Copies of this chain bind each other. A is one copy, B any other.
Amino acid sequence: MEVVIGTIAGILTSVSMIPQLIKVLKEKEVENLSWMMIAVLLTGVSLWVVYGIMREEWPIIISNAFSVMVNITLLIAYFLYKEK
């Protein structure tokens, strides 16, 4: 039961930024988004990947590596659309 709840929790926190990324890519507007939120989150999930590698815990590595990619894309999109 713990494993099920932990897995669902992990999937949800990992995919949570996807709706935001889709919205940004669709509307090309980032006016009310905080780049610092994205930057702090990106640093955090990157360190989780390092932690996962150190402990060889694959669920931590995979879910956070996925978050790293989503947040890098979001940060690039942010600065791309912010310029306009």
Contacts and interface: CB of A to CB of B under 8 A. Distances in A.
A16 B32 contact: no
Interface residues of A, number: 40
A50 B2 CA distance: 9
Copies of this chain present in the complex amount to 2
B13 A55 contact: no
Interface string A1-43: 1100110111111111111101110010111111011001101
B55 A41 contact: no
Contacts of A17: 37, 41
Interface of A: 1-2, 5-6, 8-20, 22-24, 27, 29-34, 36-37, 40-41, 43-45, 47-48, 50-51, 54-55
